[in-house]
Structure 1
Amino acid sequence: MSTDEIDEAIDWLGEPVHCETCPHNALLEQEKCRPLRACLFDRYARRIDRFFDWNPEIARHYLQHPYFEVRACAAKAAEIFLLPAMLDDPEEAVRWSAARRLPNRYLLKLRNDPHREVRIRVAHRLDPIDLLPMIEDRDYYVRQVVARRIAPDLLILMIDDSDIEVRRVVAQRIAPQALKRMTADSDPEVRYEAAQRIEPAQLGDLVDDTDWRVRYEAARRGELKDIGRLVADADPIVRETAEARLGVTADGSRKSQTYELNHTHVEERL
């Protein structure tokens, strides 16, 4: 349900809102506020936000209000030179509300913000070169964002990250000359990501990998001289891929030149 559909005017302390005692009640006659629609003292953020949208000149007076939603909404409308001080607000919603309007240099202060959502947003906005201090962030998702955005040459610094999903992103983007190291990763998902990008000449070292997807990639793209043993692979897709490329079966007989691998079946398993 939208907050505007809630038929009550309650303030942040749970008390009814009374227009007659509001210090801004003159705005009511000017249609610059409206009960249940645009109200500074309503507890619903959308109504507070709308009030400051209609009356931005008032926002500067409420940057220290005890209700965090008022401070967060006021930060969206107040003069920008007042916002740096709000980066120290105890509420993450207020800190980000201020930060999103400030130049990126102010975001540097929030790279170590205690709240993960703030750090995630910061990681999305900062210039890639400014993300280096965040490669060891305590939150895995922050590190994922960093891995997606920093320069590929710098991903070598994240190659041993503790999180599998972070390492998968690294394998998808890291400079080609560093991919070989990732084919020895302890996780098959990471090895498969690396195998899809590694040079064909290096795939020969992966024909004995324990994961069928990695061996399939070797059979699919590896040099013919390296994939002979895969015609006897335990996995049917790996075996058939090697047979199709070499034109022979495990017993040495020639395969029909019209043979085609069922790629739909491969995609379903992958």
Structure 2
Amino acid sequence: MTSDIDEALDWQGREIDCGSCAHAELRAASRCRLKHACVQDRYARRIDRFFNWNPDLANNYVGHPHFEVRAIAAKHASVFLLPPLLDDAEETVRWNAARRLPKRLIMRLRRDPHREVRIRIVSMIDDADLIPMMSDSDYYVRLVIARKIDPRLLGPLIEDVEPEVRRVVAQRAPRDWLLGMATDTAAGVRIEIAKRLAPDLLSRLRSDADWRVRYEVASRIALRELGPLADDEDELVRDMARGRLSGLAERSMERPR
């Protein structure tokens, strides 16, 4: 039985007939090949290969009824033909057009209905232009913004409903914001705060409910604040605290009298 990938079918499932193709001359010139490089084929890889071989023909296909053809043609066609594709029904077409257009034309895609388009738009714009997207309904869009935007602009995401977004904020925000985030309900966020707070400020987290937070505190807190953690209910926390205190005692004994 012949598998689908071994067949030459167009986007409507019909067998491809090279004899009736408008590009018959390309075949003679080895600029297309059935089941390998063909604009009529329904497989994106074969369409892509066709336009790689014949980029000069892309302008003729930005209005093709098959979205894969439009999307791949958008990679090669004249940029002057691309603005209408920002309104295409298929997100892949919109994105391939957007990636080649100036920023002033793609800003409206910040509100695109498809999350993948919005995520990719984030990669193309910066800081002030990202602020309106910080309230995006999709958490991953907000997460990508949190990873990219200038740390001084992260304020609106401090109380984001998604803990992973707040965790990235804790990793990147200015250090003088961290105490204000120390009561976050997610342990993962508090762990990141414990990793970055100045040692003298870690006493705020010394009694944290999560042992992982207390472990980070025990590893970094000022030695004069370490004592209570030597009797922590968690063995790893106790060992870290006692190890640091033991090291302090040994150094004190080694000092010349």
**TM over 0.5, shorter chain:** yes
Deviation at 1:246, TM superposition (A): 2.8
Partner of 1:90: 89
Q: Write out aligned runs for 1:162-181 (5 A).
A: 162-181=161-180
Asked whether the equivalents of residues 76 and 97 of structure 1 are also in contact (C-alpha less than 8 Å), the reply is: yes
Which residue in the other structure is 1:257 paired with?
A: 250
CA shift, 1:71, in A, is: 0.5
Judge which range, 232-241 or 121-130, deviates more.
121-130
Is contact 1:52–1:58 with CA below 8 Å preserved after alignment?
A: yes
Paired residue for 1:133?
A: 132
For residues 245 and 78 of structure 1, the distance between their equivalents in structure 2, rounded to whole angstroms, comes to 65
Q: 2:224 maps to which residue?
A: 225
Q: Which whole-Å CA distance do the structure 1 matches of 2:27 and 2:239 have between them?
A: 77
Change in 2 beyond 3 A, CA 1:200/1:256:
closer
- The AA in structure 2 aligned to 1:143 is R
Which residue pairs with 1:10 in the alignment?
9
Match of 2:255 in 1: none
Question: TM-score of the superposition, structure 1-length normalised?
Answer: 0.87
Q: What residue number does 1:238 align with?
A: 237
Q: Confirm or deny: 8 A CA contact 2:127 2:153 kept in the other structure.
A: no
Deviation of the 1:107 alpha carbon:
2.9
Whether contact under 8 Å (2:191, 2:212) holds in the other structure is yes
Q: What do you get for the CA RMSD once the two structures are aligned?
A: 1.9
Corresponding residue for residue 50 of structure 2: 51
Distance 2:218 2:93 in 1: 54
**SS of the residue aligned with 1:23?**
coil
Using the TM superposition, give the Cα deviation of residue 103 of structure 1 relative to its aligned residue in structure 2, in angstroms. 2.4
**Aligned-pair distance for 1:226?**
2.0
Cα distance in 2 between the residues matched to 1:126 and 1:56: 28
- What letter corresponds to residue 122 of structure 2 in structure 1? A
State the partner residue of 1:37. 36
Partner of 1:214: 213
| Aligned residue number for residue 160 of structure 1 | 159
Whether the 8 Å CA contact 2:182–2:204 is kept in 1: the answer is: no
CA distance in 1: counterparts of 2:229 and 2:32, whole angstroms: 74
In the TM superposition, residue 128 of structure 1 has moved relative to its aligned partner by 2.9
Deviation of 1:256 after TM superposition, in Å, equals: 7.1
* Corresponding position of 2:99: 100
Report deviation, 1:89. 0.4
In structure 2, the gaps of 5 or more residues are 252-257
* Structure 1 contact 219–242 (Cα < 8 Å) conserved: yes
For residue 139 of structure 1, report the CA deviation from its aligned partner: 1.0
Residue of structure 2 in register with 1:68 after alignment: 67
- On the 8 A contact 1:49/1:73 being kept in 2, the answer is yes
Q: Give, in whole Å, the separation in 2 of the partners of 1:13 and 1:43.
A: 8
Displacement after TM superposition at 1:81 (Å): 1.3
- CA distance in 1: counterparts of 2:246 and 2:43, whole angstroms: 70
Residue 50 of structure 1: how far off its partner (Å)? 1.6
- Contact 1:107 1:126 (8 Å CA) reproduced: no
Q: Is the 8 A contact 1:52 1:74 kept in 2?
A: yes
Aligned-partner residue type, residue 130 of structure 1:
D
Q: 1:23 & 1:131 partners in 2: Cα distance?
A: 45
2:187 aligned with 1:194:
no
Match of 1:265 in 2: none
Aligned to 1:263: none
Per-residue deviation at 1:198? 0.6
How far does the alpha carbon of each residue in 1:221-265 deviate from its partner, in whole angstroms, 9 at most, with x for none? 1122322211211011211222223349xxxxxx9739xxxxxxx
Q: Matched residue of 2:75: which SS?
A: helix
Aligned pairs for 1:103-118 within 5 A: 103-118=102-117
